[in-house]
Amino acid sequence: MQTITELSINQLRLDEHIEQLAQIGKIGDTGVCRLALTPEDIEGINQVRFWMEKAGLVTRMDAFGNLIGRLEGTDSAKPILMVGSHIDSQPYGGRYDGAIGVLGALEAVQCLVEQGIQPRMAIEVIAFCDEEGSRFNKGLFGSRGITNQLEEGELERQDKNGVKRREALASFGCSPSEFAAAVYPPGSIGSYLELHIEQGPVLEAMDAQVGLVTGISGPLWLTVTMKGMAGHAGSVPMVMRHDALVGSAKVIAAFDDMVREDPGAPTVGTVGSLRVFPDSRNIIPEEVSFTVDLRDMEMERRNGLEARLMTLLDEVSSQYGLTYTVTEDTNSEPRYCAESMMSIIRSSAEEMGIVMPELMSGPFHDALALSYVCDYGMIFVRSKDGISHHPSEYSSSEDIALGTEVLYRTIRKMCTGNPPKEAG
């Protein structure tokens, strides 16, 4: 791939920011555990806030726990351009997921400031709260918050230690009584841009450093709880058992088989968390809860698989004398990027001698929530071996810098109407 030899952005500064942020919540040599609304998360937020203010942005933390850095525009009546991602991580995550979207956005806007460019509209660089959803089992909290998409009961969700989201927010100094004031009025966000690692193998297989996202697949998150009867593992005959774990295992294995039936489809399904009660070696499991993550670009196919899962739960519960409940945690249809935004990203890359491959995103991002209130565009950076949500997650400095340069040029075009001068 041919690229420009010099960048407008400061690659060294961006590298240093990524490295410094990765030390907060560090696990092992390369991993990160920076769960939403934890001490590690606020330490990361404070560090990013320091960099934002050093870059000349005016910062604030809103009631949802989002960190926002604002650069004023010349026309206060224009809807804002929002750019960002998140810095919270998975429990056993990597240093690039989300973080490069926040730090890349900051670098791009800082580059504008250093060049003395004032945008026509205000630009807000944002680090959204709890994109991952790994702590309270429902993500995109901050981005859904500002777009008025929160659901009943979200503040009462508990983590594995019994801490409620309401309590975790309070530890950040955030109050639900201020939620309404933190919601952006309709039409106030004009566009949203997000830089992110691909988290998949497509770009690497194409030997492409960066890619243009065309849309985000629709995620369905469920929590299934199967109930049976506990008993002594040594005294209850097999034919008399109501083993919730065996029933759950049958459902999980069959669900995996269903999702694999069409190898050419982009469908993916995962059971990533399972809890057993009483969780003892010599007691028959009485209750098991497990999560279901089902994603597809075609709603008809996804809905069909969901219906088959419900039938499967009926059949297995009847066979083993169990009862079950299903809670829907997240449900979204696929959301497509605005053609106008994709066009600007394409032209920015073409000025650099790059033709960006175009691909869908299987993982969801904060852009998914923003898509309901404004146009959005996304840029992907190549992921080594397609690995993410793991300490070995890796994207090279060169690839991240290239993606950030495309982001910078896109922002500059959108906020001034003029392309940047060629580097060198």
Structure tokens at 20: 């410094």
Binding residues for Zn(2+): 86, 97, 132, 196, 389
Q: Is 326 exposed, middle or buried (0-12, 13-18, 19+ CB in 10 A)?
A: middle
d(CA 195, CA 379): 5
Helix or strand run (H / E) with residue 61: strand 58-61
416 Cβ contact partners less than 8 Å away, ≥ 6 residues apart: 117, 119, 120
84 Cβ contact partners less than 8 Å away, ≥ 6 residues apart: 101, 102, 105, 124, 125, 126, 127, 128, 194, 366
3 state SS of 18: helix
Within the chain, what is the greatest distance between any pair of CA atoms? 80
Q: Please state at what angle helix 339-351 crosses helix 397-416, rounded to 10 degrees.
A: 120
Give Cα separations from 289 to 9, 59, 165, 223 (angstroms): 48, 41, 20, 7
Binding residues: 86, 97, 132, 196, 389
Q: Please choose, from the candidates 417, 403, 419, the residue with its C-alpha nearest in 3D space to the C-alpha of residue 85.
A: 403
d(CA 118, CA 122): 9
d(CA 209, CA 356): 8
DSSP 380-408: EE--GGG--SSTT----HHHHHHHHHHHH
